[in-house]
Amino acid sequence: MSVHKDLIKHAANQNKTYQLFLSLDQQRESYIEEAVELCKQGNPFSTEKINEVTNKMNKLNLRFIPIRKNVTVEMVQDYVKSLPKQR
C-alpha cells in the first residue's frame, strides 16, 4: 500500500510541476509577443524577461519536454524582418 501512496504522491508532484511549466510557457510567449510588437514599431525592447522565464522553465527539468533556448535581440529582429509586410 505504501508504494501505491508513493506513486500517487509522485504523480501529483509531476502534475504540479507540469502545470507550473505551462504557466511559465504562457508567460514566456506573452513576453515574446511584447518584444515582437515593440520591434515592429521600431521601439527599444529587451529579451531579459523572456530569458528569466526560460531559465525557470529549464530548471524544472521535465524530462519529456525539450529545453527552451534563450532568446536574443537579434532573434526577435530576424523574426520581425521575416514577417510579410502589412499594408
For 3-62, the pLDDT digits (tens) are 888 888 888 888 899 999 999 999 999 999 999 999 999 999 999 999 999 999 999 978
Measure the CA–CA gap between 35 and 25, rounded to whole angstroms: 15
Number of compact structural domains in the chain? 1
Does any domain span residue 69? yes
Does any domain span residue 12? yes
Does any domain span residue 49? yes
> For residue 45, what are the domain limits?
2-81
Residue written as grid cell 525539450: 66
Does any domain span residue 87? no
76 touches 45 (CB < 8 A):
yes
Measure the CA–CA gap between 12 and 75, rounded to whole angstroms: 37
pLDDT tier at 1 (50, 70, 90 boundaries)? Answer: low
What residues have CB less than 8 Å from 31, skipping those under 6 apart? 49, 50, 53
User: pTM here?
Assistant: 0.85
